[in-house]
Amino acid sequence: MKFFLTTAIDFVNSRPHLGTAYEKITADVIARYRRLAGFDTHFLMGNDEHSQNVFRKAIEQGKDPLAYCDEMEQVFRDVWRRLDLSFDDFIRTTDQKRHKPAVQAMAQACLDNGDVYEGSYEGFYCVGCEAFKQEKDLVEGNCPIHNTKPQWIREKNWFFRLSKYQQPLLKHYEQHPTFIQPDIRRNEILRLVEGGLEDISMSRAGQSWGISVPFDPSSVVYVWFDALINYAAAVGYGWDDALFKKWWPANLHIVGKDITRFHCVIWPAMLMSAKVELPGQVFGHGWVYFKGERMSKTMGNIVDPLDAADRFGPDPLRLYLAKEIPYGGDGDFTWERFEEKYNADLANNLGNLVNRVASMTERYQGGRVAATGGGALAAIAAHSVAAYRTAMDVHALHDGAAAAFRLVSAANNYIAETQPWALAKDPSKAGQLNGALADTAEAVRIAAVLLSPIMPASSAEILRRLGDDRAQRDRRLDADTAWRTSGEKQILNTGALWPRIEADKGVVSVSDETPKAPEAPAAPAAPAVITIDDFMKAHLKVARILEAEKVPKSQRLLKLKVDAGEAEPRTILAGIAESYEPEALIGKSVVIVANLAPRKMMGQESNGMVLAASPEGGAAIVLNAEPATPGTRVR
Ligand code: MSP
């Protein structure tokens, strides 16, 4: 069975950010899940280029618009590659071979069906939204989304008879109750359409940046009418009937909640008019906020997904976004919560489990286990697999991820209960010892298969250590999540997958507590008591900040040059950028750990660490008692 899914295509006037990446990552999880479940999957992404904002941005930079879009394609592809997105196709709306003929064919089909007429438009147009606004929707004369004054436009336009489709759309929603998901969006759209639909403008006069209207070369097709057609254009509409037949209708359009109206009302009406089958479902996901606020350039709080991906690999970010935000609702991202979840789910839970089973198997059985029955753990695994499937089939990614992690926790508990380290002391219990290790390894294997759509590279690595180095495309949900009761395997013990992130933020060290001694409890312990001698090993000094600047592409790091009473100033990277403007720190005295091993972060070396108290966002402890001579020891 085929499964064709798409994401919104992005405006290219700025780089991808965490919000746009959220959509692509979650869609990628769905695509990978469908492939694992055996569907012949086609995953489409792309760029939306015929926007006035894009055109302006290019001109501002003194570039030819198409050349600018070519450059941005590379920027987008590079980010998507670093987030491990597995799209099968990528379409651009300036594509002349596929997109242009499709747009012209659909515009013509709508005209031929009597749904396009010429008129003149007068009204407000918000360039930020690329949409016409009704006066009642403005707040103090401004677009409520962009807080800017829309332009008053008066021009000749071609109109699409959207009003004609009110009843057919309502009928379609009724006959296909899951056409719009989640239900909250479905209800919003139902109310909107029940309230009546007005015809919409489908062209803009006197512009050159766009696809010309086939029956009026003096106009270009309105950017949204143009963009929506990408989904059909990519798979052959208007240029390859056989291909179109193979993939259309799309099974699933994944879009943000701000653009469901375009996808649930205008797009299906266009398709009805052009006599093309409607997609199976439009899923309107929620928004990701940063510390509760909308990310925006003016707020200066745009999170670059590569900040996380370049430090930890893409998987911890992918897991956070899929697991911590109920899919369909809004969610929040903060570095504190990201690090907390990383430590809890990856360093302490899954990572610890992989290490424990591998190191104990190595220590007690030369790295080999022979599969046995499974017992209670096998039953939990079967239950987790079933819950995972039920959730993933309806895109409840958070529930799917949680089901997989229930199995991980159960396997950690199973180790605590069976106590392999105690069994190992008694040669008569060799069978039980092997059983405990083999069962745990089998549970880890199944959990890794379940997590493979969310954390592809990490799951592949875990499976490799467990002796399965097949390509992911060769794995199947049914066969590969069934408990295996026979066979022997070698387990590789090759080190920590996810070193803990230490509380000083920014500094990551390979945790020494990763169980070299497997009997160590998995739960995080209370801080150990230390002696004064232990404390004195840390050389704390007063340092004065001479220079401070943001680290490019990092939301949190500041690069400081400090005078620590030494021959030369030293450079320290501190995770405090969310709390200070760099200039405000110059001349301030702080306490540093002076004898910390140098560490590289974001490609730069840090020599020491600034002490910070961090309820939110890393606030350095700034000394008030002046003058604190740089170099003074703190104890
Ligand atoms: N070009 C249009 C879509 C055309 S589809 C035929 C567009 N582009 S966009 O670049 O502004 O947004 C792309 C997608 O990212 C949209 O689905 C949008 O909802 C989503 N998001 C943008 N910011 C977001 C968050 N902060 N959080 C989650 N998704 C967000 O709209």
Domain spans, the chain? 306-490, 532-622
State the virtual CA torsion across 253, 254, 260, 262 in degrees, nearest 10. Answer: -50
Q: Which residue has the tokens 């510390």?
A: 291
Q: Is the CB of 287 under 6 A from ligand 1?
A: yes
Distance CA 342, CA 340 (A): 5
**Which residue, judged by its Cα, is nearest atom 30 of ligand 1?**
19
Q: Is the CB of 328 under 6 A from ligand 1?
A: no
**Which residue, judged by its Cα, is nearest atom 9 of ligand 1?**
10
- The band of 528, judged by pLDDT with boundaries at 50, 70 and 90, is low
**Which residue, judged by its Cα, is nearest atom 16 of ligand 1?**
256
Q: If 0-12 CB within 10 Å is exposed, 13-18 middle and 19+ buried, where does residue 290 land?
A: buried
Contact criterion met (CB below 8 Å) for 82 and 310: yes
- Which CATH architecture fits 532-622? Beta Barrel (2.40)
pLDDT, tens only, 230-265: 999 999 999 999 999 999 999 999 999 999 999 999
Of 5, 26, 48, 289, the one to substitute when testing ligand 1's pocket (max ligand atoms within 8 A of C-beta) is 48
What DSSP character marks residue 552?
A: T
Q: If 0-12 CB within 10 Å is exposed, 13-18 middle and 19+ buried, where does residue 383 land?
A: middle
pTM score, whole prediction = 0.80
- The band of 627, judged by pLDDT with boundaries at 50, 70 and 90, is low
Instruction: Please state the rounded mean pLDDT for residues 166-181.
Output: 98
Distance CA 116, CA 109 (A): 9
Of 258, 264, 291, the one to substitute when testing ligand 1's pocket (max ligand atoms within 8 A of C-beta) is 258
| Amino acid 553: pLDDT | 80
60-90: buried (b, 16+ CB within 10 Å) or exposed (e) per residue?
eeeeebeebbeebbeebeebbeebbbbbeeb
The helix/strand/coil state of 252 is strand
- Residue 11 CA, ligand 1 centroid: distance in Å: 8
End-to-end CA distance of the chain: 68
The helix/strand/coil state of 309 is helix
Atom of ligand 1 nearest to the CA of 255: 17
Give the pair of three-digit tokens for residue 369.
């286990």
Residue 450 has pLDDT above 90, yes or no: yes
Helix (H) or strand (E) holding 562: strand 558-563
Instruction: Please state the rounded mean pLDDT for residues 516-532.
Output: 46
- Residue 244 CA, ligand 1 centroid: distance in Å: 26
What DSSP character marks residue 474?
A: G
- Residue 8 CA, ligand 1 centroid: distance in Å: 6
**Which residue, judged by its Cα, is nearest atom 6 of ligand 1?**
228
pLDDT, tens only, 31-49: 999 999 999 999 999 999 9
pLDDT, tens only, 382-424: 999 999 999 999 999 999 999 999 999 999 999 999 999 999 9
| Amino acid 617: pLDDT | 45
Q: Nearest-5° angle of CA 559, CA 612, CA 301?
A: 60
Sheet with 212-213, side-by-side order of all strands: 203-205, 216-221, 212-213
CA-to-CA dists, residue 588 to 558, 563, 609, 612, 630, angstroms: 14, 11, 15, 14, 11
* Residue 235 neighbours by CB distance under 10 Å: 25
Q: Is the CB of 226 under 6 A from ligand 1?
A: no
Atom of ligand 1 nearest to the CA of 48: 1
Q: Is the CB of 19 under 6 A from ligand 1?
A: yes
Q: Is the CB of 256 under 6 A from ligand 1?
A: yes
For the chain, the average pLDDT equals 91
Instruction: Find how far residue 58's CA is from the centre of its chain.
Output: 27
Q: Is the CB of 23 under 6 A from ligand 1?
A: yes
Q: Is the CB of 210 under 6 A from ligand 1?
A: no
Phi, psi angle pair for 159, to nearest 5°: -110, 145
Residues of the chain with pLDDT > 90, as a percent, come to 74
Residue 519 has pLDDT above 50, yes or no: no
* Superfamily classification of domain 306-490: Isoleucyl-tRNA Synthetase; Domain 1 (1.10.730.10)
Q: Is the CB of 239 under 6 A from ligand 1?
A: no
Of 5, 10, 293, the one to substitute when testing ligand 1's pocket (max ligand atoms within 8 A of C-beta) is 10
CA-to-CA dists, residue 516 to 89, 356, 502, angstroms: 45, 8, 19
- Residue 16 CA, ligand 1 centroid: distance in Å: 10
Q: Which long-range contacts (CB under 8 A, 24 or more apart) does 313-317 make?
A: 313/457, 313/458, 314/82, 314/83, 314/84, 314/457, 315/84, 315/454, 315/455, 315/456, 315/457, 315/458, 316/341, 316/342, 316/346, 316/498, 317/25, 317/83
| Amino acid 614: pLDDT | 53
Q: Is the CB of 227 under 6 A from ligand 1?
A: yes
Residue type, 345: D
Atom of ligand 1 nearest to the CA of 256: 19
- The band of 503, judged by pLDDT with boundaries at 50, 70 and 90, is low
| Amino acid 449: pLDDT | 98
**Which residue, judged by its Cα, is nearest atom 10 of ligand 1?**
10
Residue 137 has pLDDT above 90, yes or no: no
| Amino acid 517: pLDDT | 33
Distance CA 476, CA 389 (A): 13
| Amino acid 616: pLDDT | 46
Residue 341 has pLDDT above 60, yes or no: yes
Instruction: Please state the rounded mean pLDDT for residues 171-175.
Output: 98
CA-to-CA dists, residue 90 to 80, 222, 230, 235, angstroms: 11, 21, 10, 11
Of 103, 259, 303, the one to substitute when testing ligand 1's pocket (max ligand atoms within 8 A of C-beta) is 259
Residue 229 has pLDDT above 80, yes or no: yes
- Residue 633 CA, ligand 1 centroid: distance in Å: 52
- The band of 624, judged by pLDDT with boundaries at 50, 70 and 90, is low
- Residue 305 CA, ligand 1 centroid: distance in Å: 15
Of 23, 72, 222, 230, the one to substitute when testing ligand 1's pocket (max ligand atoms within 8 A of C-beta) is 23
Q: Is the CB of 48 under 6 A from ligand 1?
A: yes
| Amino acid 626: pLDDT | 55
Contact criterion met (CB below 8 Å) for 497 and 462: yes
| Amino acid 526: pLDDT | 47
- Residue 410 CA, ligand 1 centroid: distance in Å: 38
Distance CA 574, CA 43 (A): 40
Q: Is the CB of 288 under 6 A from ligand 1?
A: yes
| Amino acid 531: pLDDT | 66
